[in-house]
């Protein structure tokens, strides 16, 4: 059985001071203990504060981005080894990075290899636009993102990988994929992994749903066979709503 992963993607939110307040408020909410794995991905500038506050708690930390080179003339960028001092996970290929910062599948693939090399765990984000869904192209878009994003990845690396399915039309819009749509897409990703690797390797990859996930809609999503947790934006900014989602995951037996 896979352990649920409840991941918060803070995006461009929270100063170091606000991060400290988040973790201080979070601490008493962690009792009784939460069974699901908790992960927070704050902005880079909040990582030292998050790590310090977290010394007393068992919350994993992640980064929201990385550059695939180890050093050199890349002004403004951050290398995997620098992140390794603070985090265990790194988001890769979030739709906001693909759309606003023109990240290609080739760059995303480079990032994934660079992260594996430093023993960091990538969370590869995939998802279709509303237009692609209407044109019945959701599976082919995601198939391409998987094919190119995971090029050269080996079966042995798969247990370190997480994939987040985030339909772009559901991110920050208040509109969530129905459990049926989400499960269909997650099953597609799972089958893709079985076909390209094998069933035990596919089983080792956690598949997260993301897109306006909150405590009011989490239960039927988490009950789906191929949904192993969530990547949460808005609802992860407030400790109570984040923990409510984790408690819902804890109640679900698969």
Q: Tokens 């990385």, residue?
A: 66
Angle between helices 215-222 and 239-251 (to 10 degrees): 30
- In the bound state with ligand PGA, the residue whose beta carbon lies nearer, of 124 and 201, is 124
Active site residue 166: yes
Exactly one of 96, 145, 166, 183 is catalytic; which is it? 166
- In the bound state with ligand PGA, the residue whose beta carbon lies nearer, of 229 and 233, is 233
Instruction: Name the minimum Å distance from CB 233 to ligand PGA.
Output: 2
Alpha-carbon distance 63 to 58, whole Å?
17
Enumerate binding residues for ligand PGA (CB under 6 A).
Answer: 9, 166, 171-172, 210-213, 231-235
Active site residue 238: no
- In the bound state with ligand PGA, the residue whose beta carbon lies nearer, of 157 and 224, is 224
Q: Which residue is nearest to ligand PGA (CB)?
A: 233
Exactly one of 94, 128, 186, 226 is catalytic; which is it? 94
Instruction: Name the minimum Å distance from CB 108 to ligand PGA.
Output: 15
Instruction: Name the minimum Å distance from CB 172 to ligand PGA.
Output: 4
- In the bound state with ligand PGA, the residue whose beta carbon lies nearer, of 133 and 201, is 133
Instruction: Name the minimum Å distance from CB 10 to ligand PGA.
Output: 10
Q: Which residues are catalytic?
A: 94, 166
């Amino acid at each position: 059985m896979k352990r649920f992963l409840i991941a918060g993607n803070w995006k461009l939110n929270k100063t170091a001071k606000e991060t400290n307040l988040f973790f201080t408020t979070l601490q008493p909410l962690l009792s009784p203990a939460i069974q699901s794995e908790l992960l927070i991905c704050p902005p880079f500038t909040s990582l030292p504060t998050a790590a310090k506050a977290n010394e007393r708690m068992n919350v994993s930390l992640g980064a929201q981005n990385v550059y695939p080179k180890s050093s050199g003339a890349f002004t403004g960028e951050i290398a995997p080894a620098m992140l390794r001092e603070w985090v265990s996970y790194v988001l890769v290929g979030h739709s906001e990075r693909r759309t606003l910062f023109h990240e290609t599948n080739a760059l995303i693939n480079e990032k994934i290899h660079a992260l594996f090399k430093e023993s960091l765990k990538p969370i590869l984000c995939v998802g279709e636009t509303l237009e692609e869904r209407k044109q019945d192209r959701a599976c082919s878009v995601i198939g391409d993102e998987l094919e190119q994003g995971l090029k050269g990845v080996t079966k042995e690396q798969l247990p370190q990988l997480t994939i987040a399915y985030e339909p772009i039309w559901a991110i920050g819009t208040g509109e969530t994929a129905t459990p049926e749509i989400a499960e269909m897409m997650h099953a597609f990703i799972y089958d893709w992994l079985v076909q390209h690797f094998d069933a035990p390797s596919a089983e080792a990859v956690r598949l997260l749903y993301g897109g306006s996930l909150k405590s009011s809609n989490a239960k039927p999503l988490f009950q789906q066979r191929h949904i192993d947790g969530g990547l949460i934006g808005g609802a992860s900014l407030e400790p109570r709503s984040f923990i409510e989602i984790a408690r819902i995951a804890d109640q679900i037996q698969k």
